[in-house]
Structure 1
């Protein structure tokens, strides 16, 4: 007798007499079963029919095709032998139902049969509970075709959608990706529900069940989109981002399904997730529809990204996952952003301002990476400069990026440093930026001179504007002699202050440049050093004798203002 027969005898089952030897021998996944055909035929209409036709070989083949594990098949056999204290569970109920349906174990063939008992357990003990329903659905993966034949797939889906509609948080807490200044306020109805137990996550079921279920959830108007997005993002993380590389085929199918399930509404999905998904879709060689779908979603919300999000697009794979390998994808994403918003009728430029600042901040972040090549940095800096044209008043972010890059790449030659600095527009540096750059030892001397020249022009423009304002004020008050006199004294005071400010900055900048020149020509004669300084001053157009400091300010780029400024300094 088989081990099963010995178990049944030990448990005092109502078996046939020992004189009747088993007449049906089959293997279920390598486990032998020695059974009696008549005992199976009493409960199974299919077995009974094959015995009536005397089709023994067909019967053996029929039983071998049962998609069941040995433990579940043993439970079926025990029921056929009269053992009614069956141990149903959420893990085995789907398999029991499929086998009972496959064998025709209905009440029409035999009263109080297995199919009815299993259906009752499913209805009373499994379907009312979210966790039990998810476990049961997950357990039926191996017999999915038969599961669909029985109609259990639709039953499980309808049950889960109904429960998720009542409490969407069963799908997962929504991801907060709001724009700056917006407060996240969940629906007050959701506060009525409190999950004080750990719910079974839908992301544990296989893709061929998960995708159709989430499609139904998307179509359901009672489940908010943010909860569906939360579930889909978690699914991608488990089956794509964190999955082993040996399952490349499965990962490719998963990322394509994720793209199909995600909505296109701006702000529902984090930029970090979209960038990660786009990167994986390219690496896994997903369909062009999949890659384009992620790019379209990204183009709508690049302005919501953070510098560390852009880093995802530029990093490599495997061992190079944290290094800057390529910025082509960053350029593609930024280009798609501008293409999208150029076709919009909105006059709001806040999106462009945010992206311009984002690229400057990312430039600083990328510059600190030793793995970033000079060519890539220059290309990235040019992108940042282009995005700030007409949008940002100052380009201090570009300067900070250059400074950080020179600091982290100290091996650069002088010509390479000039290549790095060619994207810097000195005229767009703020006064504070000019002061820092003018004292920066890492910058090439030629760039420092350009910075100082731009700084002087800024101050002179400021002086001219303030003088003009003072003159206009005096003109308004010239009707009253006493007020006019006070205005003149005020005018002279303001001019004196601006003169001191201008002279102070020029003297400070001169000292800085002289110090740099002395270091570079310390082996040359002192007379030669003075000659170089005269050449530098000649470029400024301020060649004067050292004793006549005030006269150094009499020149200006605009000839129309020369007379006024000259008169001012007299």
Structure 2
């Protein structure tokens, strides 16, 4: 076997086979190849070598893979791997190198290797598909092997959705059906979205569009990305959707793709000022005012007055966007600033109580453009509604030397209105306090009167109870004294009897003596 042409073609034997695979010459023996390939046997019998060359061309076989196949035909041991298995399988299939033609043939070996060494492993399966060209993938689709690969990967991804990140290197024709099939099952949307975003970054945002083929591929990818993104609100960041929308416009993607990305307007209240900068700023530094208006129009058409909190969020975000724009770009023209400011005013009208955010943006714009003449300053301030400034903003504006004189006069007038309103509120507060105090004093008088009645009632009850207690106490004392007298007489009489000197006269004398002593005791007491 030789992969070089003979220097003298006339010396080639009739059994020799002369082929070129992608510019690499091969000098082979017909009989040796025919023993392993039923298709080659048929071709040689019909003497139609162009049919064999067409097969090699259509299957996009590279010289290294073809050399490996011919080595097998010559009886050499070959090394199959994840990188070459798909190509070897395709050429073995189209050359009909099955066991029906020759035992232990290449097609059977390739199928066994694919089943036992590749499909059981996520990494080896991805590696095998990564090496496939579009023509080889076409042939895989023809024989139904694409579904085999996809089913193997989907089954493994369902067990661990984190594996989806490994798919971003696959061709789009494999990646899209993989994600679509996986999304039909109960797989984490976060993992799906992360995988799609990473795929877009790799094939769209990190690729240079200078080449027409690259631009066409990027357009195909951005359209697929839009189809793969879930529609649930908040599942994809506003910044990424804004960036994708701009890219779809630059790549001239289909209208369905561009309209699909405009759905970001439904979650505009979740966006930040930086997100809006991504959307509105063009590559030349100018601003896409019309695109910004389109997004806002779609947002307001999707919600009603009941979603007032969302309107407030968008209004505040737009104010911050205007401020950041004015602060970040010294080259921003007055006309552009005014157009952006008009959009912000329209969004905040009847939504925000004060226009302090717009004033802050004007203030920083004038600071960045100190060289503006009075008429240009007035043009930048034309959107400012002074009567909607808070007292704090009015105080700052009244001392702001950058503002046009006409605006300062308006601010002073608003300041007077604030002072008048404040005084009126304070006077009203004093009156309300006075009325409340009179009412409180009346209530206190009523309470005092009720309390006096209660105390009087308690006093009467207390005096009566006290009188009864005194009377009971006097009765108790009188009864006690009487008992004590009886006890003393009785005890003393007993003593007298014991001494044999108890007489009636002595008893009377004793009783009289006790009475006298009692009167004397009470007087000193």
Instruction: Mark yes or no: TM-score above 0.5.
Output: yes
Moved more, 133-142 or 259-268: 133-142
Of 323, 328, 350, the residue aligned with 2:309 is 350
Of 155, 159, 172, the residue aligned with 2:148 is 155
Moved more, 346-355 or 151-160: 346-355
Of 285, 305, 312, the residue aligned with 2:278 is 312
Task: Report the 3-state secondary structure (helix = DSSP H, G, I; strand = E; otherwise coil) of the residue aligned with 1:390.
Answer: coil
Moved more, 205-214 or 229-238: 205-214
Structure 1 position 103 matched with structure 2 position 103: no
Residue 114 of structure 1 deviates from its aligned partner by 0.8
Paired residues of 1:325 and 1:372 also in contact (CA < 8 A): no
Structure 1 position 366 matched with structure 2 position 322: no
Structure 1 position 81 matched with structure 2 position 48: no
Structure 1 position 33 matched with structure 2 position 33: no
Residue 55 of structure 1 deviates from its aligned partner by 4.2
Corresponding residue of 1:224: 188
Corresponding residue of 1:563: none
Corresponding residue of 2:452: none
Corresponding residue of 2:365: 405
Question: Matched residues in 2 for 1:64 and 1:373: separation?
Answer: 59
Of 462, 468, 472, the residue aligned with 2:422 is 462
Question: Matched residues in 1 for 2:322 and 2:58: separation?
Answer: 62
Report matched runs for 1:131-150 at 5 Å. 131-142=123-134, 143-150=136-143
Structure 1 position 285 matched with structure 2 position 252: yes
Of 337, 341, 355, the residue aligned with 1:381 is 341
Question: Matched residues in 1 for 2:280 and 2:54: separation?
Answer: 57
Residue 292 of structure 1 deviates from its aligned partner by 0.9
Corresponding residue of 2:267: 301
Report matched runs for 1:47-446 at 5 Å. 47-56=40-49, 58-59=51-52, 61-63=54-56, 65-84=58-77, 86-142=78-134, 143-172=136-165, 201-218=166-183, 220-245=184-209, 246=211, 247-296=214-263, 298-317=264-283, 320=284, 323-342=285-304, 347-368=306-327, 369-446=329-406
Which has a greater percent of helix? 2
Aligned length: 434
Question: Matched residues in 2 for 1:391 and 1:3: separation?
Answer: 80
Question: Matched residues in 1 for 2:90 and 2:69: separation?
Answer: 11
CA-to-partner distance for each residue in 1:323-354, whole Å, 9 max, x for gaps?
24332211211121111113xxx723211111
Change (3 A) 1:285 1:57: closer
Corresponding residue of 1:487: none
Task: Report the 3-state secondary structure (helix = DSSP H, G, I; strand = E; otherwise coil) of the residue aligned with 2:150.
Answer: helix
Residue 304 of structure 1 deviates from its aligned partner by 0.7
Change (3 A) 1:481 1:132: closer
Corresponding residue of 1:188: none
Paired residues of 1:355 and 1:387 also in contact (CA < 8 A): yes
Question: Matched residues in 2 for 1:138 and 1:281: separation?
Answer: 26
TM-score normalized by the length of structure 1:
0.72
Change (3 A) 1:479 1:241: closer
Paired residues of 1:28 and 1:70 also in contact (CA < 8 A): yes
Corresponding residue of 1:196: none
Task: Report the 3-state secondary structure (helix = DSSP H, G, I; strand = E; otherwise coil) of the residue aligned with 1:32.
Answer: strand
Task: Report the 3-state secondary structure (helix = DSSP H, G, I; strand = E; otherwise coil) of the residue aligned with 1:33.
Answer: strand
CA-to-partner distance for each residue in 1:186-243, whole Å, 9 max, x for gaps?
xxxxxxxxxxxxxxx212122222222222222x222222222211111222222221
Corresponding residue of 2:488: none
Residue 398 of structure 1 deviates from its aligned partner by 0.4
Question: Matched residues in 2 for 1:75 and 1:470: separation?
Answer: 101
Paired residues of 1:477 and 1:483 also in contact (CA < 8 A): no
Change (3 A) 1:94 1:418: same
Change (3 A) 1:305 1:202: same
Corresponding residue of 2:455: none
Change (3 A) 1:461 1:28: same
Change (3 A) 1:42 1:359: same
Question: Matched residues in 2 for 1:415 and 1:57: separation?
Answer: 81
Residue 459 of structure 1 deviates from its aligned partner by 2.2
Paired residues of 2:179 and 2:228 also in contact (CA < 8 A): yes
Question: Matched residues in 2 for 1:58 and 1:286: separation?
Answer: 40
Question: Matched residues in 2 for 1:293 and 1:66: separation?
Answer: 37
Residue 31 of structure 1 deviates from its aligned partner by 0.6
Paired residues of 2:59 and 2:139 also in contact (CA < 8 A): no
Report matched runs for 1:2-21 at 5 Å. 2-3=2-3
Corresponding residue of 1:558: none
Paired residues of 1:324 and 1:366 also in contact (CA < 8 A): no
TM-score normalized by the length of structure 2:
0.78
RMSD of aligned alpha carbons: 2.3
Change (3 A) 1:57 1:284: closer
Paired residues of 2:119 and 2:149 also in contact (CA < 8 A): yes
Question: Matched residues in 2 for 1:61 and 1:385: separation?
Answer: 68
Residue 287 of structure 1 deviates from its aligned partner by 1.4
Question: Matched residues in 2 for 1:121 and 1:51: separation?
Answer: 30
Residue 73 of structure 1 deviates from its aligned partner by 0.4
Residue 476 of structure 1 deviates from its aligned partner by 2.7
Question: Matched residues in 2 for 1:91 and 1:226: separation?
Answer: 31
Question: Matched residues in 2 for 1:112 and 1:27: separation?
Answer: 27
Paired residues of 1:27 and 1:64 also in contact (CA < 8 A): no
Residue 411 of structure 1 deviates from its aligned partner by 2.2
Question: Matched residues in 1 for 2:411 and 2:150: separation?
Answer: 68
